[in-house]
Structure 1
Amino acid sequence: MSVEKGLRGRVYEPEKVEFFEFDIPVLKEDEVLIKVKSSAICGSDLHIFKGKHPSAPLPVTIGHEMAGDVVRFGAGVTNLAEGDRVTFEPCIVCGTCDACLHGTYGYCENISYTYRNGEGTMANYVVAKAKYVYQLPDYLTYDTGCLVEPLSVATHAVKRANIRIGETVLIIGAGAIGMMVGAICRKCGAKDVIIADFSDERLAMAKELGATITINSGKIDLEEEIAKLTKGKGVDKSFECVGRESTFLQAMMTLRRNGLATIIGIFENPNITIPASRFVTHEIHVQGAQGYCWDFDDAISIAKEIDMEKFVTHKYPLDQLQQGLETALNPRTGSIKVIINP
């Protein structure tokens, strides 16, 4: 199949989208051309849409959660065939730094992501490196297959936190990542998975996906409620999935002594004030979790055990990308995952 031109969306100024044609390149021997069937809007896309992503100044293409069909591939690709249903891992690593040479490419000194380099998946075609392309099993549709990427983010964060049987976990933020983290924590054996959010609708869905306790932190003081639930002890592990100073503090202050907070949210304002003495008096641990590293295969397996369809709340064609982003940004729409179908 010969394709000469593709169409791709980008944010050129805050809350403004435009489309542009691009030339489909001649594929290198390790590259794959994928016809995009579904591309999900991510929280990072919304930060870009607002012009507030700390690592992606405008203009920038958007989209990195996708599923589609293999159209053609380079001469060196032997593990894929035309028509294969696939998703891909949208990271770019150098392959030569110490981290890459030791197999921990998630810590690459030069790591970037395809959308930041003009290869966004809010498009009808995308080029990917074959080693980062994964075939979709029959239990994943295109719409749920494109959610393997955020599920991999959640999988990576839960692995980093080393969730153990019987632990009590707090997740702040019932977006897609937060709910996925909750579902995986339950499957790892966490006794109590507490999810906090301002939306009763999202909290109801979180319950369906495995949360044992939900808290509307817009109505109830979260720190006081956690103190009651844990008899003053605090939770074993927490996950911050929002990206605000207030939620960072909640993730810290609700921990038991020697507890661990994992920060996943993207902070539009990266400079925050925290009570440093808490690290000393309670010997707490705070770590970050970004992206993935050898997590896609595990996420694909986990997806079989999670009702992934629940996350898909809205769908738009590519030419309505502006409307899709506005829907995802507006809390009154009740959106969880907005899917763009080119």
Structure 2
Amino acid sequence: MKAAVLVAPMQFDIRDVPIPECGAFDVLIKVERCGICGTDLHIYHGNYSRDRLPLIPGHEFSGTIAAIGDAVQGFTHGQRVTADINLGCRSCFYCRKNEILNCPQRVQLGIHVDGGMAEYVRVPAHAVVPLPPDMPVEQGTMVEPLSCIVRAFRKSHLRLGESVLVIGGGPIGQLHLQLALRAGAAPVILVEPNPQRAALGKELGADHVVSDIARADDLVRAVTNGRGVDIAIESVGSPQLYEQAFTLIRPGGRVIAFGLAKPEHTFRIAALDFVLREQGIQASVAGMGDDMHEAATLLGYRRVDVAPFLTTIYRLDDVQDAFARLAEDRSVLKIQLQVA
């Protein structure tokens, strides 16, 4: 099969490699589309999973079932599916609590082991996620990123009528924005300096959009009776923006830490103020288990608009150009690779 193999940071090689063998408990998926996300860019630049190279990246993929293991039931050939990329031991303390990322044996498809930037990918049957029958396959690539947002909102304990500030209007920030609206948050504020992304946030329903984090404080105070927001979601990964987020939440408010910073980055919290104001922080990074299935349901019922993320398509052969453009061109929200 054809595969895009990252052989070194910023260096892809299109190779013919063996099709993965479908074991008794596996499903072989013929990949049709695979999205490129921020984590993939971290891998591309050598900031993450460098020790796993050469690697076939890709964890936002969808396609159809090409082969089914002898011990697998409940799936059919040609069925449209995606996959939960988080694979744990399924028996430890963390796996039992659906906290698979903390499993000592955890691996992630496309991040630690070969993923979806290839014509076929092998997935354990328990991790296969069926897509609604009428869902276009390109939308199936958005189940995994949306599942990350589903999990973040579960952890945020958002209540009806609470105010939400989303810092960052990239694809993930725009999904946070939409799910906040669907969950009954009010008002929902977006901070995004890029004019195109700011305009998209407004189009998708943001109550207020501000281009400069330095000006966010005045707006936040004005629309929350001077208190600050109930929840601030940092979806950029900037230490400075994390620190700013704590100044924008109310006493008793909480910060959802979502953006991936570099390993050496840290941010500071004024400890006494943090305690006296009874503020909170909750990290969340990836969807898994039920998060995936619920994301598929939300997309199937069109509760989230993913059309803005499906407009830029590259062939698998052009993966090098696709990554270079996504890394450099802020006018592009997301890129999908056409595999099949």
Q: TM-score, normalised by structure 1?
A: 0.92
Q: Which of 55, 59, 62 is the aligned partner of 1:64?
A: 59
Match of 1:129 among 124, 131, 138: 124
Equivalent in the alignment of 1:328: 326
Residues 286-312 of structure 1: CA distance to partner in whole angstroms, max 9, x if unpaired?
111021232111111211222221222
SS class of match (2:126): helix
2:105 is paired with a residue whose SS is coil
Is 1:14 the counterpart of 2:12 in the alignment?
Answer: no
8 Å CA contact 1:252–1:286 kept in 2: the answer is no
Equivalent runs, 1:271-310 vs 2, <5 Å: 271-277=265-271, 278-293=273-288, 294-303=290-299, 304-310=302-308
- The 2-side partners of 1:252 and 1:109 are apart by 32
Match of 2:178 among 172, 179, 183: 183
2:236 aligned to 220, 235, 242, which one? 242
Deviation at 1:16, TM superposition (A): 1.9
Query: For the Cα contact (< 8 Å) 2:145–2:287, is it kept in 1?
Result: no
Does residue 203 of structure 1 match 2:198? yes
- Cα deviation code 1:217-245 (max 9, x no counterpart): 26x53334323333431100111111111
Give the SS at the match of 1:301. helix
Q: 2:110 is paired with a residue of what secondary structure?
A: helix
Aligned positions, number: 334
Which secondary structure state, in structure 2, belongs to the residue aligned with residue 295 of structure 1?
Answer: helix
Quick one: distance in 2 between partners of 1:138 and 1:200?
A: 36
Q: Distance in 2 between matches of 1:235 and 1:323?
A: 40
SS in 1 for 2:20: coil
Structure 1 segment 126-165 matched on structure 2, within 5 A: 126-165=121-160
CA distance in 2, matches of 1:251, 1:182: 16
**Correspondence for 1:263:** 257
Closer, same or farther in 2 for the Cα pair 1:41/1:256, shift >3 Å? same
Report the equivalent of 1:26.
21
Q: CA deviation at 1:257?
A: 0.6
Match of 1:233 among 227, 236, 239: 227
Stretch deviating more after TM superposition (274-283 or 125-134): 274-283
8 Å CA contact retained: 2:26, 2:72: yes
Instruction: Tell me if the contact between 1:51 and 1:58 (Cα under 8 Å) persists in the aligned partners.
Output: no
Other-structure match for 1:3: none
Whole-Å Cα distance in 2 between the matches of residues 21 and 84 of structure 1? 25
Contact persistence 1:13–1:58 (CA under 8 A): no
Segments of structure 1 that go 5 or more residues without pairing to the other structure are 1-5
Quick one: which amino acid aligns to residue 312 of structure 1?
L
CA distance, structure 2, for counterparts of residue 139 and residue 216 of structure 1: 38
Indicate the SS of the match to 2:206: coil
Give 3-state SS (helix, strand or coil) of 1:126's partner: strand
Paired AA for residue 292 in structure 2? F
Is 1:76 paired with 2:71?
A: yes
Task: State the match for 1:111 in structure 2.
Answer: 106
Deviations 1:127-164 (A, max 9, x none): 11111112211442111111110000011111110111
Matched, 1:171 2:166: yes
TM-score (ref. length: structure 2):
0.92
**Structure-2 residue corresponding to 1:340:** 337
Q: Deviations over 1:153-197 (max 9, x none)?
A: 011111110111110000111111111111111111111111111
Q: Distance in 2 between matches of 1:101 and 1:228?
A: 44
CA distance in structure 2 between the aligned counterparts of 1:224 and 1:297, rounded to whole angstroms: 39
Question: How far off its partner does 1:68 sit?
Answer: 0.4
Q: CA RMSD in A?
A: 1.8
Distance 1:161 1:270, change over 3 A: farther
Runs of 4 or more, structure 1, over 6 Å off, are: none
Q: Is the 8 A contact 1:67 1:86 kept in 2?
A: yes
Q: What letter is aligned with 2:327?
A: L
**Among the aligned pairs, what percent are the same residue?**
29
Note if contact 1:35-1:69 (Cα within 8 Å) is conserved in structure 2: yes
